Every structure is written in structure tokens, then in C-alpha cells.
Structure 1
Amino acid sequence: SWDEAITTRPQVAAAALARLVALLSVARDPDAPAGISRPFVQVEVHQWARSVTRMLRGVLPWPNAEFAWDTVGAESRQRTTPDTTTSRDTKLFLPAVYCRECGRSGWSVLAPESDLEELSFEAHKIRRATVTANKSKVRTLVAATDNEAREGNGRTAMNRAEQRSLTTGGAGVLMVLDGSSRRLRLPDPQDDYDDEGNPQPAGPDSVFVLVQLGDTAERAAKDDWCPACGTHNAIRFLGTGAAALAAASITQLFTGGEMDKEQRETKTLMFNDSVQDAAHRAGFVASRSYTFSLRALFTKHLSEQRSTALNDLVADVVLSTTDRETLAAVVPPDLHDDAGVARLLSGK
């Protein structure tokens, strides 16, 4: 059934739906007058998206990941893992966080007791603590890579640079998050690794993580240090707003080749339930769409098969702006009101 396919095989279900819509879109009325192409059925596609907030991430070893909405009982409810994320089930979900500097991601927990290894997994308490005086008790856990996890097997020698990167300069230390006991513990060379020294955490819902501990733990929590790269003011809860999603969707539609350019219908009509926010929303979407379009333009002139010198990339992009549509992608929205720029974009 569709319900089962969407739940267990979302990729296959999405492909099937896309093909059905595509077939209906190209179908033509056989009874239409000669020389007139008339659609067999009228097709309208609506994409509904909600803001991505209060996201939970399943406790799974790197690089596997499974995400869920923060609902009542999400922490302990057993879930069926879609084959698009990982093949292993998990029943422990924690608030998802990431570093906006290095891009590493992981979880957030609460250490309410004096012993920093005693953790609280209640999502609403963790989020509440980040905006109160209890923020110093929040601990950011970044999923450790396999190479980082091997450093705790007692067999792999760490060179000086790697050892320094995990112990000083604001970066975290390697620990194991034990979901069953709700504790952080040191890696066990006997139980947490296989016979070849590869990471294999003992027990369910256990992962290798990088975390700030010791004298700098509370300061790191208050200043949002990243345990992986050590950057300050870098840790954020995973999520994005409706305006950012709208901007990304619009850019993909206009630059991804999904729309027929011959129809010349690349127009955007947005509705907002607040008159006061309409201008702000429109400005935000325009700004983000410009950023995405500019990135797409640079990407278009890059190749995976050959390297490109930076000066050649800039020259190619500048040369491509002779096309009016391409030129619009490299002109910031706040310049569109300038008379000279407006005349240039209009082609006059």
C-alpha cells in the first residue's frame, strides 16, 4: 500500500509519485481539434513544507543518521528506520545539533548533577536549559568518525598533531555515550572494538562522541564551543524556517531545469498570513534566492573531472553574465531599484 511504501521505502514511493505526475502532465487529449495540443487532465502540483524545528536525532554510530520530530514519547518509542537513513533501528532520540563552522553534527544532553557523567535525555529540559542560567550544564556531543574512534582502541598510535587536536585548543575528548546507562564513559579497548580494532560500541544505543569535559566544560557550554573544531559560538540546534525552505525551493525550481523555459512562466507568487511580515518575508526570500542562485552559477562552471584555477572561474562567470537571465543571478536584490541596474536587467 502507499502508506506502507511511504513509511518503509520513501525513495521508491517518491519516484513512483513523480512518474505518475509526469505521465499525467504529458498526456494529451485525443479528442482535441487537429493542430491543437490540449492537456488530457489539468495538473497542479503543490509542495507543502513546514519549518524544521525541534528535531531529534537517533543515537546511531557515525555516519548513520535518523531524524524524527520531537513528539511525546519520542525518546523511548521504537521506530522503524527507513532504508534511506540507516539499516539499524534505534529507540533513543536526542535533540539534534550541528556546528555552523565545520559542519559536524551530533546531540545535546544535560548534565544536571555534579558528576558530569550523569546525563538527562529529556528533550524539553535540554532546550529550556540553553536559554536559562542552566546553560552551563548542557553538553554537546559530536559524533566521532571511525578514525577518531580508533584512537581509543589502545592499538593505534596517535601522532602529536592528532592528539593535540582532540585535547587542546578548545576541542573535545573521545568518550562513549552509553544510552542504556545514560552515562558518558571512556572507550573500553576490549568491549567497544572488534578483533581488528574497529569501533563497535558495546550495547544498544551507544556511540563514540567528542565532548567537552573537565575545567572548560561549563565555559564551553555557555559559549557554544564545538567539540570537534573548537570554534566558539558555533553550536546550534538543527533546523530552518519556512522562509529559508521557500527560498531554497524557488531557487531549485528556477535553476534546476525542472521548469520549461519556453513557457516563460518563471514567476513567484507567495502568500503570507501576516501583513506586517510580508515585506520582511519577501526580502528574505529574495536575498536567500540570490545567494543560492550565485552558488549555482559558480557550481555550473566547475567540473569534477578537471581542476579550475580561481582566476579562470571568475573570468568564466563574468563572461556568462552577457546572458540577461544569468546577469540577474549575480546582481544583489538591493541594487535592483537603481535606475541604471534596472535598465541593464531589462535589456534596454
Structure 2
Amino acid sequence: LPLANCRACGCSGWIGVYSAKDKKLLSALDEIYRHFFTKGSEAIRFVVPLSAGETPRHPHGEIARLCSACRSLAAEGDAACPACGSQALLRVVVQRPKMETHTRQDGQPYTVGRLVCPTCGADDGGIMLLGMRTATLCSHLIATLNGSVFNRDKKIIAFSDNVQDASHRASYFGGRTWSSTFRAQLSHTIHENALPDMPLPDFLTFLLDDLRRRHADPAARLATFIPQDCKWWHDWHELEEHNTPPSPRALNRLDLRLRWETCMEFGFKSNIGRTLEKTGVAAAYVRLPAVTESCWGTVLEKVRNQVEGLRALTLPDLRACAADLSDLMLRRGAVLDAEVVPAILRTADLGVVRWQPPLKFTLQGMSRGGIHPVFPGKTIGGGTARLALALTPGGELNAVFKWHTGCDDPAALEIFLNALSDAGILTKVVSGPQAKAAMAYWLLPPDRVMISSSLETLRCPVCGRQRHAPRALLDAGAGRVPCRGPGCPGVPVPATVAAHHYRQQYIDGNVFRLVAAEHTGLLKRDERADIEKRFKSETPAPWYPNLLSATPTLEMGIDIGGLSTVLLCSVPPTQSSYVQRIGRSGRRTGSAVNVTVANARPHDLYFFLAPEEMMAGGVRAPGVYLDAVSVLRRQYLGFALGEWIAQDQAAAFPRDIRAMLKALDNQEPVFPNTFLDWYAARRAALA
């Protein structure tokens, strides 16, 4: 069964399709992938192993026993598999999808299924399959090659076997590598300027000023940092086609997008992918305001007087609880951005963010089931809010609150959040009238969020999970809450680990933007020639293509200049094709990097296990039949047709075969009769 994990907490398990008839999980990968990505299947299951006596906090299914021999599901009390008799049973929780019915714009209903994490309760698209497709793996490889300071000739040709893959990968490579470019720039800004801990608004201002200083040319700045989903901008097309400098409006839009990308990098996306926090470059933390002791005393008094179970709460525990709750809110994106958050709250009840102008033209959409911020919230009226981090027993907020106070009552947590809001530590916001359910949210003021490059590694002594936390957060007595691992009782402690590979790449590597272009037969001749010219340029502009996603037609016969890297997105069909493709690189310097990616198909896997047969195998001479008259006839006919079309302005083809056959029978003056008459008059000249 394919492995899967929760992006929010790291809970891992398997994905399978449940057969009600056989009472087992099907293992056919095609069926599993079809049901998983359909998002509307009730048969998909997320199976998570449980230890003896462990109870999931957010079950949306049943606890059962999974037979490791035949994948049948047995009752929890069974000692042997009822299907095959095997006693190799594994205690698991079988999570069913949470089915929801929505209405399209045309009024038609549709159903969406959302898998729920049994550990943290995340149901916002956080359950992901583990693995990489060819395009994703190649994107990481390209980002590493372009970020290396040792690669001085950053030009790549990526070969695909068909036009569809080549066209898709040209766009995918450009979009997937953008985050590496931006993270490298963030790292350079922080470390080269030796920035101290800085409030988020001040850091955003410093970042944009630093970008203007490093990339003084507005065109180069736009070409380097424009996201892939913004390349529909008119200014980008003018720059790409006519070298026209961008307008101030486009640069302002770019600044807004980079501000929001930075907030996401240090907020609700800080734990997804090769982020600055996970690689140990920099992280964000919440600095509680320097309020007076009397202010903290007022908060403590309110909590003690209103909650019986918190009468014994001490002031140090109160501060530590406030710090860790604020840190969790930061990780979930609950920061009150003046421009973006109000737009999110307007549609928070829908579970999908619909931007309005001008944000609509700049920010990336957040669809239902995608990654988006969630805010601590409580329903005031009827209905529910999908983007609310609910105050429920066993939830993330309540788990942190219980760790410090021993109380798991949501009402007590609400009183605590209101007290922090009254003291000015948090900001309470009520959703607008457009929401179906009136909601109260608690958010962090942006000036409370600090960006720090002084990090310490924490590792759980029980399960080994590790994370990077700012030292200032640890010095304040916070940041050492229970391990976030599924069911792990450990508490992370400081540890010494080796520096992350991507940390060195971000800090010491180059800030280089990949500009990919397809080179296929779908392009017009002039467009393809222009791409080749720009790719071969000895003094390329930042918006010139530096990666060609090509089909086998580029194996030979086309001069593409100097090249240091060739990427084969699949194993070529023959040794001759392999030699032709990798022979495109290293013609000037004599050295090159050639990478071949083996896909999950028999041909590729065979040569993955025996690569020497492809690299050193014999190249067969092509078969040539010199007396192939029929081949010559086809070539001659094609040449004659080309000459006829080029010389005769009135040359035209009928719209369908029926009209052509009718004209041929009736000797009408249309094709093919017009072509045959033209050929008869010029037969000697053509020969």
C-alpha cells in the first residue's frame, strides 16, 4: 500500500481502497490513485497503526486489525484473520473520508471527500501521498544545479519522449523552482546583512529595500522574482517579447506578492517542504509585549475568577501558556495582516478564499482542500467556518492549553484568549456580514512576530522528531511543549545535529531564476527560432530562457550553443538516442553533467539495474534500403506540393475529403486537379 502522511503533524500511515464485498483493502495502485485524487470517493481509506491501548484523538472511522498477509480488516478483538487465518494482525485506525456536499455556480450539487488525520484532526488537504513523480524530482535536481556556485554555465536541456510531457514540464519546472530562488534571496538578506531579531513588518520593509538594492534594474527584479502564476501579466509579456521595462503598477504588485509569500514562509507553510525553518536558516517566533506585571496580574485574576479549574495557575505558567499558544497560532497563519486577512475572513465560512481586486490579480488562490491559514475561532451564530481552528477538546489549541494548565475545557480556553485580547496581547476580530456564520477570531498583531536567524535544534528523545526553534523563544521559557509526533509522550530537548544541506545551498548558493521554454513541434518556426536565439545568447537577459524542455527532435541537427547539463526525463528507447541526447552537452568545455531519470516502467527499470548496457551498449547502424522507390516518391510528392503552395497564391485545399473526391470525379478546377495541372506544366523543371 502507498505510504501517506499528514503535513500538519507528521502522522504516517497507508492509503488503500476498501472493498465492502471482500472486507479488505485493495492494493492496485491505479485504483488507489484514481480514488485518492478524485476527492469524491467514499472507498478511500487512511490507515494509521496504533500501539496497544492507544486511542486516536480524532477518529473518523473505526479501530480494527489489519492482516499483513492479505490486507483484510478484522474486528479489534479478533486474534486471527477471518479470511486467511494469519495471526500477523496490526492494530490500526481506519479513517473514512468526511463527505461534504457543495453546490456549483450552475446550481448542480457535487460531493467532496476529505480524509481526516486521526492525530491532529487536520482535514484541509493535509493527507499527502509520499513519493515523487518525474517532474517533481527533476525540479529539485534543477534547483540544486542552478543554486550551485560551481555551475557557471546555467543552461539545461530536458528531454521528454512526447510533446505533451515537454510542454507540461516547461511550465512545471519554472513554477516548482521559484520557491528555491525566493528562499535563497531571503537567506542572503538575513545572513549577509547579519540581521538581528526583527519584527515582521520591519523585516518586510528591509527585504523589499534589499531587493531594490541588489536588483536595481526593475526588469531584472521582475524577471527574477515573478511567480509562475503571475506570468499572465501584460508587463511580463511586454518584457519577454519586446524588452519593455515593467510599469510601477507591476512592481507594486510584485512587492505585495513577495510580502505575502514571506508571511507564508514564516507562518502556516513553515513546516512544508524545504523551508527556512526546517533547514535551520531562520524562523519566526512571537514576542509577547512588554506589559507590566499588573497587566499580567489582571489576566491571571480574570482567569482564576472565571474558571474553577485554574485557581492554582501561577504567573510563570500563564506566561509560558500564552507564549506557546501564540507560537501555535503563528504556525497556523493566525497573523493579522492588514491587507490579506480581511479578504480571507470574508469567505472563511466557505473553506475557499476568493480574492477581490486588487489582490485577485496578485495573490495565488486558495482552493478548498488546499493549504491555507486557519485562525482560532468560535461560532457566534449558526453554521460553521472551515478556516477556523476550533476550540474543541483534543484539538491543537486545547492540547497546548492542557499541557500548561491541566484543563481541557474549551470554555476555559475561550476565557483565556479573551483575557489575552483584553490585555492587548492578541486581537479579537468578528467576521464580516458576508460570512454565513458570524465568527469571532483571535489573531496575532504582526508587530509581535519576530524573524530570527539564531536557532536551536530540538529533538524528541522518544521518537527522534526534531525541529528548529528560535533561542529567544526558548530563553523566555516557552517552545518546549510536548512532541508533535503522533501519540508521542516525549518532550523535545536541545540537540546537536549536522547542518542541513539546503541551509548551505540557501545561504552560500546563487540566487538564480529558472526561465523554462518548450521546444516542440507545436511552436511556429519563427517562435522556435527566437527561443533558440535567446537560449544561445552569450549575454542573456534575466528573462531569456535558460532551460529548454524538448522532444527527441532536438537530438541532432540544431545548433543550441554551449551547454553544460542535459537532463533525460526518461530512459531513451535505444542506445543511439541516448548518445545523441547526452552528446548535446560539453562540446565547448569537454565536461558536462548528464542525468537520466528512470520512471516506474519496465524499460526504464531494466536499464536502471543495468545502466552500462545503455551507456556503453553498441549503437546499431540505421537500416537504409537504397532502392526504396516508394520512399522517394513520397519525398518527391511532398517537395512538389511545397513548391506549388509557395508559388501559386491561389493554391487551396478543400475543407473535407468528400469535396476533393467529388471534384476529382467531375474534373472540377479545384484540388487535386489544380495541383496536377500545375505539376504537368512544370514537370521538367521539378525533376
Q: What TM-score results when the alignment is normalised by the length of structure 2?
A: 0.25
| Bigger radius of gyration among the two | 2
Give the structure-1-normalised TM-score.
0.45
